[in-house]
Structure 1
Amino acid sequence: MANRLANATSPYLLQHAENPVDWWEWGPEAFAEAKRRGVPVLLSVGYAACHWCHVMAHESFEDDATAAYLNEHYVSIKVDREERPDVDAVYMEATTAMTGHGGWPMTVVLDHEGGPFFAGTYFPDRPRHGQPSFRQVLEAVTEAWTQRGEEVQRVATQLREHLNRAAPSATGDFDREVVEAALDGLERDFDQTAGGFGSSPKFPPSMVLEFLLRVSTGPDDRAARMLDATLDAMARGGIYDQLGGGFARYAVDRGWVVPHFEKMLYDNAQLMALYARRDDPLLRRVAGETADFVVTELGTAEGGFASALDADSEGEEGRFYVWTPAQLVEVLGADDGTWAARLLSVTDAGTFEQGASTLQLRADPEGPADAERWAGVRHRLHEARKARVRPARDDKVVAAWNGLAITGLCEVAVRQDRPDLLESAVRAGELLARVHLDGGRLLRVSRDGVAGPHAGVLEDHGCVASGFLSLAQATADARWLTLAGEVLDAALDHFRADDGGFHDTADDAEALVSRPRDPSDNASPSGLSSAIHALTAYAALTGSSLHREAAEAALSTAAALAAHAPRFTGWSLAAAVALLDGPREIAVVGPAGDAREALAGAARRDPSAVVVVAEESPGVHPIPLLTGRVSVEGRPAAYVCRHHVCARPVTDPAALS
């Protein structure tokens, strides 16, 4: 028998619609019911591609006895963190404050006003490794609620005060000293052996790599060394799908060998943009393959991109992706199978579970003959893998992540001459404009072309505006600039804080126990850093001092954090490099052809530049940066500007560089 979640739009919530738990969606009705019954609220937060969320669901939420206890003693709420990042942010802060760490599934117990008084993450179905079982936790919390009510309320009050305690103002100059301090910190944390930062687990440090790309001054400086070593290590490791393209969410080990196998849109959107901007055959190939993965595997019928592919299939994590030597021989025959096992580091002992291995490409095939052999082997393995049971797909469309995907696809499209990818980016932009956008305000998610009810948060407005601006640059179509301006106006009107920074939720959003405001990046850009990027690009294209000043004011609120925690402020640091340099605004105009493309290619080698390529427009152009820009003696010309003050046009790509 289905519970209330049967009517949800979130694929994650629908995964729990057949649970014996009497789940509620987040909303005032659930809290009213808890108050009427005099029981606490149990909040469970996760997402559809989360492996341990599946484990806890199977062990506890599908268990009749556990469900019966929950139904008697709690009102249980299930939340998709990707659909409600505001709820997730508030209670993740509480969980971290109480336990010292966070993660998903997240389990929090609340009073009738939403105040948390107990929190944790995954709890097993029986005591294990010193950790209590979920049932033991529930019984202990029930005992505290019924027998020690004053203590419960004291904890809830203290946590509420902690969550609402205003952070001290930390605005300051985001100058070259901050950038150098950040570089010093990253160099200390850099893994000289395996690439990346820290030890394990290792997440793709996309935003930090973007900063390193922008601050690098040559192929051998410290920024370039950290950037390229990390890009190469990830591309060759098991975290990258060597058959189908695309990156998994993170590696559990230091050497990028064994991933946590779910594949997220936001990771792949950012990484394809990064890989596309490095002039290396392997990295360019990975950029194109990742873009193809996003379009083919995550593309929806309506033109958007789904959120993720699951880690599990047939009840096991990674089963779709791993191989044994015997399986390679079965598909390829003895000679090719043995050769492929050596090339892809597939061993009898295995690098994963039960003797299976992830696929790695630690060295390129030697010579044209081996390269051709590898292409054939790869195709055969990929075709054979299609017969396996595929991981499930979370097909909701998240506005922010689709904005990131649009930007990534535009980068690959213009740098690799892929009009098909640009067409996919345009379709996604049209879906966002048609379904998610209403008077400049964004709705967070849609599914099957129908928007859900949840309001967009700051990261939605920042990332979607950036996606629209990427389309404006790639197509010279001013409607995308207009739409970006509407979205940014909404962000300035409804999300801005008194100190020039931004809140993560709008001033008219649902009131939670605190109003989230986190300047640090996670796996995707923070709302603050995404807004700064969009404001900077919009100012470069239009000459708007209002938007540039807003970007500078917002950036100042992240200066102290960036100097001391650069691994969590990479996107703000990348924006700072652009702002400190101008940013450069480059208009390339003139008749289409090889000459114009050569100029455009030279312009795009500057990772911080805002570049627009268009036909000649001698009069007023709806994209202000193009106004009055004309060819020179019939030849395509490039205008390099700062604050819309331009140097003399050049027609030679070498001179432009």
Structure 2
Amino acid sequence: MARAALRENALGGFYSAEDADSEGKEGKFYCWTREELSKLLTPDEFKVAVRYFGVTEKGNFVDHSDPNPLPHQNVLSIVNPLPLLHSPEKPLTRPSGALSPSDGERGSHENLSKDSALLTSAKKKMFEARSKRVRPHLDDKVLSSWNGLMLGALARAYSVLGDESYRYAAEKNLAFIQAKLWQPPQGSAALSAASEASRRDARATLFHRWRDGERDSVQLLDAYAFLLAGVIDLYEATLDPQHLEFAVVLADTMLTKLYDAQNGGFWQAAPDSPDLILRVKEDYDGAEPSGNSVAILALLKLSAITDRKDFKVAAEKSLRLFSNKLHELPQAVPYLLLALDYWLEEPKRAVIVGDPNAADTRALIHAAHSVYQPNKVVLGNTGPVEPLARTLPTKDAPVVFLCTGTACQPPTQDPAKIRELLK
């Protein structure tokens, strides 16, 4: 899905949506019939593609709202995947004592290789043929909130998979948002030189929507919170101190504009929003998590990285505001439950000392992200990080210190050891 999104994105910012219908017919651009594939592909390609995508003569999609729907339409999905070839996680094995692959094993591998080549060829032909169809309408506005979600997804994909194209796309996306939707404090782009007072300056603004060179004046919590979470994800994936500096400025601005310091929680809109009738604090985690849930968890993570106590205080006060909802309707606030769980446990800190652009350092970063441990943060020892991280000694080679509170494990360069300590 990430590759598909990147294929359609040359701008840097991600567009909002694309219609499901074209030429008045639902699914006409994306669906396929068995007959179309038989005419487009060679017999061998057709056989592999039909099996792989589960294409049937009847089809698997009908638009019941259309009195004259297109017949025999198939929405493609991977129904019968080809086995992975030469997977590093599961190497090919042979019976003990065998000096060479058996004839059956060799034949099986040759068939897999042939099918893989046929499938690749079929996909290429199908993509080229689909590109000639009339595309659905594109909603080409760029929303800072949804782009924040995409930024975080790309950053997490890079941190786990190590695909440099994901990092490039994430940093390009952030640069686009900063250029088109962000007005920095005092109008200055030098975020690292911003004083505490200027970081709190109310004139710093994250706008919500950009399209065709124009942006609106609306400021919403979802924009600040989702982008903040995405920038933190990008920092943890790259350890670039500039990303952390921007996260701090963004968090300060969110607190200035939207935080209710008296009661806790974040307002959905800024007080000077046009046409504002009522200010509310949204807490429902539906198709998208609520701005409050995302803001609270992001502030807790940022506090663990920077040791900024005011971030943690705001998050704690907000959790208390929503305590009744957490107790009475926890199923309505699953993302807020993640924030609560994070708050209840002292987070582990993987402090990586070394040049974040060096290959051996990146290997340690990926190792730290390869274990599912949601109550952790990954940070470097430069930029506005917490004081203990800045005091950790630099070694000849990059190392990782696993810390909890004020105690740290002995440094290690072993990715396997890092994974073991994080479990």
2:32 & 2:229 partners in 1: Cα distance? 40
Aligned-pair CA distance for 1:376:
2.6
8 A Cα contact 2:379 2:385, kept in partner: no
2:33 & 2:300 partners in 1: Cα distance? 50
**Residues 475 and 653 of structure 1, relative CA distance in 2, 3 Å threshold:** closer
8 A Cα contact 2:300 2:311, kept in partner: yes
Partner of 2:65: none
2:54 & 2:330 partners in 1: Cα distance? 34
Render the CA deviation track for 1:490-523: whole Å, top value 9, x for unaligned: 2222322343122211233235343232201222
- The percentage of counterpart residues that share the same residue type is 29
Q: Which of residues 208, 219, 228 in structure 2 aligns to 1:465?
A: 228
Partner of 1:482: 245
**Residues 372 and 569 of structure 1, relative CA distance in 2, 3 Å threshold:** farther
Gaps of 5+ in 2: 63-70, 84-111, 186-203
Aligned-pair CA distance for 1:325:
0.8
Aligned-pair CA distance for 1:320:
0.9
**Residues 516 and 318 of structure 1, relative CA distance in 2, 3 Å threshold:** farther
1:361 & 1:621 partners in 2: Cα distance? 44
Matched, 1:561 2:306: no
Gaps of 5+ in 1: 1-289
Query: For 1:627, what is the secondary structure of its paired residue?
Result: helix
Partner of 2:181: 436
Q: How does 1:512-523 map to 2 (within 5 A)?
A: 512-523=276-287
8 A Cα contact 2:224 2:250, kept in partner: yes
Matched, 1:599 2:364: yes
Q: Which of residues 141, 144, 150 in structure 2 aligns to 1:396?
A: 141
Aligned-pair CA distance for 1:342:
3.1
CA RMSD of aligned residues (A): 2.4
8 A Cα contact 2:245 2:384, kept in partner: no
Render the CA deviation track for 1:43-75: whole Å, top value 9, x for unaligned: xxxxxxxxxxxxxxxxxxxxxxxxxxxxxxxxx
Aligned-pair CA distance for 1:594:
5.7
Matched, 1:445 2:154: no
Partner of 2:2: 291
Partner of 2:409: 647
Partner of 2:24: 315
**Residues 637 and 329 of structure 1, relative CA distance in 2, 3 Å threshold:** same
**Residues 373 and 448 of structure 1, relative CA distance in 2, 3 Å threshold:** same
Matched, 1:358 2:75: yes
**Residues 629 and 331 of structure 1, relative CA distance in 2, 3 Å threshold:** farther
8 A Cα contact 1:621 1:628, kept in partner: no
8 A Cα contact 1:365 1:374, kept in partner: no
Render the CA deviation track for 1:405-450: whole Å, top value 9, x for unaligned: 1111112223222223212212221222222222332111011343
8 A Cα contact 1:590 1:630, kept in partner: no
Partner of 1:577: 341
Render the CA deviation track for 1:520-540: whole Å, top value 9, x for unaligned: 122222110121122122112
**Residues 372 and 516 of structure 1, relative CA distance in 2, 3 Å threshold:** same
Query: For 1:465, what is the secondary structure of its paired residue?
Result: helix
Q: Which of residues 296, 307, 312 in structure 2 aligns to 1:532?
A: 296
Q: Number of matched residues?
A: 359
Q: How does 1:47-58 map to 2 (within 5 A)?
A: none
Q: How does 1:113-512 map to 2 (within 5 A)?
A: 290-297=1-8, 299-301=9-11, 303-353=12-62, 354-366=71-83, 367-438=112-183, 439=185, 440-453=204-217, 455-497=218-260, 498-510=262-274, 512=276
8 A Cα contact 2:52 2:80, kept in partner: yes
8 A Cα contact 1:348 1:355, kept in partner: yes
